[in-house]
Structure 1
């Protein structure tokens, strides 16, 4: 077999293995990662990359290595769900970096966490005054969680004692790319005749609709292919 054909086949196999492994391990591996998740993702990528282009290595040995590593990750995740001690060992603990408006320099030094990066992450949370912060915590995946002091928190409807309409479900997608999502209609016991009536009331045909969703408050959001905007800002 020509070398370029072998590389092409190995690349397709490597991609397929990576996709299967990611589906098997679940969403956590591809979300914002802990240290362990980062090591796992890097290693899986290195193995599949070697499978894709390193023709000197036998494919079956790399596939075997990949399967073993996926099983190790899976078993580690399983053990972590059963034991808090092991979960802390693999993922680490959150670290408080601000308490009652005071920066905890010793905790930051242990993580080699700089003031510049702290300020950047605070700004991303729309915090420009450290004195507003009651607690700031570095989570195990490296993100910053901020709890503001009570006087600086956003006012809610509950604070103002304003009545709200109860919402008991998620929005339901009805139409996508001009096609009715029949599965969602059946699961939520929504007749297609009702949807057709809603479109007719708006003088719309199915093929004109890009996206339609039944919102939690009972209203329907509909977006059409023709937006009727005189100067759309997304034109290049």
Structure 2
């Protein structure tokens, strides 16, 4: 087989395998980066690099592999944009964690977030406690959005902080 075509086929196979594996094993495995997760990412990248380029360790082989990965990701994003069912399969729906100051314990357990993690996220939004939260949602990108109500002015406040370590979850 042509060496370039070999790199293309290998890279596509590895990309598809990784997408399926992340979906099956849960996105939260790769999104809240603790020390174990960083090690896992480094080992996975090292393990699949050889699987993608095989014996071709040239610059050309590496660039072809990278181009294939970018192209496959671009196509995947386009498919998700064009097909709602496919998007629903690939990404979870937002999950309501708190409504009117009451925690949905079932939702917390489903998305594998502890009460302490939820309270931390709420404090990051400048809200004193869960009882002051009108609505808290785990968004599809792993961030927690918080809508609170100021008791004095009865004004609703919405804040969303981009977390460095995003958390995604199993369905």
Q: What is the TM-score when the length of structure 1 is the normalising length?
A: 0.41
Measure the CA separation in 1 of the matches of 2:155 and 2:64. Answer: 56
Per-residue CA distance 1:85-141 (angstroms, 9 max, x = gap): 222222211111101111011111111101111111100001112111111001112
Per-residue CA distance 1:16-40 (angstroms, 9 max, x = gap): xxxxxxxxxxxxxxxxxxx49x79x
Residue of structure 2 equivalent to 1:58: 57
Measure the CA separation in 1 of the matches of 2:97 and 2:152. Answer: 19
Residue of structure 1 equivalent to 2:128: 128
Pairwise mapping of residues 67-146 of structure 1 onto structure 2 (< 5 A)? 67-146=67-146
1:79/1:86 contact within 8 Å kept:
yes
Measure the CA separation in 1 of the matches of 2:56 and 2:105. Answer: 49
Measure the CA separation in 1 of the matches of 2:142 and 2:65. Answer: 29
Measure the CA separation in 2 of the matches of 1:79 and 1:122. Answer: 34
Measure the CA separation in 2 of the matches of 1:117 and 1:109. Answer: 12
Structure 2, gaps ≥5 residues long: 1-26, 32-40, 157-171
Residue of structure 1 equivalent to 2:15: none
Measure the CA separation in 2 of the matches of 1:67 and 1:150. Answer: 50
Could you say what the CA RMSD is over the residues aligned between the two structures, in angstroms?
A: 3.6
2:149/2:155 contact within 8 Å kept:
no
Q: What is the TM-score when the length of structure 2 is the normalising length?
A: 0.55
Structure 1, gaps ≥5 residues long: 1-34, 157-236
1:132/1:152 contact within 8 Å kept:
no
Pairwise mapping of residues 184-223 of structure 1 onto structure 2 (< 5 A)? none
Q: Which gives a bigger RCO, structure 1 or 2 (Cα 8 Å, sep 6+)? A: 2
Could you say what secondary structure the match of 2:147 adopts? Answer: strand
How far apart are residue 150 of structure 1 and its match? 6.7
